[in-house]
């Protein structure tokens, strides 16, 4: 079947077995055990980087942290690990080998924890997985994290694997889009999607000449998330969301707006102030175009749509909320994830989906999408690349009963 770019989803049959539309059947997450409180992080960061003498920059960093709305972040690095390896917190220090070695271990380990939770939520065995899609914004080795994940999870040797490195914050949508195509074109397949992020390549000391990188130090956190995707659910499987249509757009003229480069001291970020403007403009256009092509009836964005938005930063969420005319509560799940975990890059959209799903279940709502039928996933990353996925939340049988 492939990703739907046009067609009438509103008139498709309701029988999932007849239609074969890809669905999300299980969701899981995992975070490192090392927690850093945002309020005290500026003091900690400047102390561990031996930068307390940079008074003005310290005040600037503290101001950035205070405006993020983040309360805490989980990081793969422990305090002891950082103090034992001072090159990790030095600016422009050639430490790529050490960083890569840490990522080679951390990415599959954290990813495996999230994957186990997703498989348990799905209710079947790891041996029932037929395809594995792994995404991360860091690392790069062969065999890759996908191969190590397969070993840690006990997947069958015949499992078909896809490894995506350096995908950026929109990578969760990219991986989910690929899983939709795999599930719909391979009858009976069950696709495990794992997004795992650790800051081994990006955490470093500060520089007054790289303010964009300073923002990254203030907002990035570590987490892994996973989903199980398949079409035509069996009687003992529970479908939470249908993946109806996907889109991706590279915003013209924004090549330098959101950039990360791999250097000897890891990944260095360059972030421009116009990112919220470009993202909000593109999202509004893509959403309208997707709904029109899918021939979905006109929808009230507040009353009839739930929003799973990548929490890339407070300014972007504020701008999207304003541009789309959304009430404050419509991005509550994204803001909750931002508060508790920061920007966890490609793993974040599934964290938001899980947050919304639990919120809906705790209130005994009819669907995992705040009780609503229609939903949209929105993510964005380097390029600037903007991805959207149209969802249909399926009724909770227990609530309906």
Q: In this predicted structure, what is the pLDDT of residue 104?
A: 94
Q: What share of the chain is helix, strand, coil (3-state, %, to 5)?
A: 40, 20, 35
Q: In this predicted structure, what is the pLDDT of residue 396?
A: 87
List the one residue out of 263, 310, 306, 251 whose CA is nearest residue 97.
263
Burial string for 197-235 (b: 16+ CB within 10 Å, else e) reads bbbbbbbbbbeeebbebbbbbbbbbbbbbbbbbbbbeee
Q: In this predicted structure, what is the pLDDT of residue 360?
A: 98
Q: In this predicted structure, what is the pLDDT of residue 264?
A: 81
Contacts of 125 (CB under 8 A, 6+ apart): 119
Q: In this predicted structure, what is the pLDDT of residue 398?
A: 65
Mean pLDDT by 10-residue block, N- to C-terminus, for the chain (401 residues)? 44 46 98 97 95 92 96 96 91 87 95 98 98 91 94 98 93 98 96 96 81 86 98 96 96 90 80 91 91 90 97 96 96 98 98 98 98 97 95 83 51
Q: In this predicted structure, what is the pLDDT of residue 310?
A: 98
Q: Locate tokens 């007849």: which residue? A: 18
What number of other Cβ atoms are within 10 A of residue 398's Cβ?
Answer: 9
107 preceded by a cis bond (ω within 30 of 0): no
d(CA 125, CA 127): 5
Q: In this predicted structure, what is the pLDDT of residue 241?
A: 98
Question: Cα 394 from chain centroid?
Answer: 22
Q: In this predicted structure, what is the pLDDT of residue 4?
A: 46
Residues carrying an active site annotation: 169
Strands (E), 170-252: 191-197, 223-231, 241-250
Region class of 124: left (phi > 0), else alpha (psi between -120 and 50), else beta: beta
Q: In this predicted structure, what is the pLDDT of residue 6?
A: 39
């Amino acid at each position: 079947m492939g990703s739907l770019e046009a067609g009438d989803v509103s008139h498709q049959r309701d029988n999932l077995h007849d239609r074969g539309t890809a669905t999300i059947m299980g969701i899981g997450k995992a975070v490192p055990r090392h927690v850093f409180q945002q309020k005290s992080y500026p003091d900690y960061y400047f102390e561990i980087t031996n930068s307390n003498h940079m008074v003005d920059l310290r005040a600037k960093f503290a101001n950035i942290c205070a405006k993020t709305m983040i309360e805490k972040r989980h990081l793969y690095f422990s305090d002891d690990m950082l103090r034992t390896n001072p090159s990790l917190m030095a600016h422009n220090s050639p430490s790529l080998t050490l960083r890569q070695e840490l990522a080679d271990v951390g990415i599959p380990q954290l990813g495996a924890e999230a994957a186990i939770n997703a498989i348990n939520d799905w209710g079947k065995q790891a041996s029932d997985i037929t395809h594995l899609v792994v995404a991360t914004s860091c690392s790069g080795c062969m065999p890759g994290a996908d191969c190590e994940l397969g070993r840690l999870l006990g997947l069958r040797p015949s499992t078909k694997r896809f490894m995506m490195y350096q995908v950026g914050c929109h990578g969760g949508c990219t991986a989910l889009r690929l899983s939709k195509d795999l599930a719909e074109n391979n009858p009976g397949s069950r696709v495990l999607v794992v997004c795992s992020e650790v800051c081994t390549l990006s955490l470093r000391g500060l520089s007054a000449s790289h303010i964009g990188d300073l923002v990254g130090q203030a907002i990035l956190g570590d987490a892994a998330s996973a989903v199980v995707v398949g079409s035509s659910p069996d009687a003992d499987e529970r479908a939470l969301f249908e993946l109806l249509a996907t889109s991706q757009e590279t915003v013209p003229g924004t090549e330098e707006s959101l950039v990360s480069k791999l250097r000897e001291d890891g990944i260095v970020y360059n972030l421009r102030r116009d990112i919220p403007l470009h993202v909000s403009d593109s999202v509004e256009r893509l959403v309208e175009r997707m709904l029109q092509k899918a021939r979905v009836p006109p929808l009230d964005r507040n009353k009839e749509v739930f929003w799973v938005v990548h929490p890339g930063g407070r300014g972007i969420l504020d701008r999207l909320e304003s541009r789309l005319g959304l009430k404050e509560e419509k991005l509550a799940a994204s803001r909750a994830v931002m508060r508790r975990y920061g920007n966890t890059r490609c793993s974040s959209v599934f964290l938001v989906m899980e947050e919304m799903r639990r919120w809906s279940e705790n209130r005994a709502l009819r669907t995992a999408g705040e009780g609503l039928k229609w939903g949209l996933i929105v993510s964005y990353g380097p390029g600037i690349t903007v991805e959207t996925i149209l969802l249909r939340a399926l009724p909770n049988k227990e609530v309906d009963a």
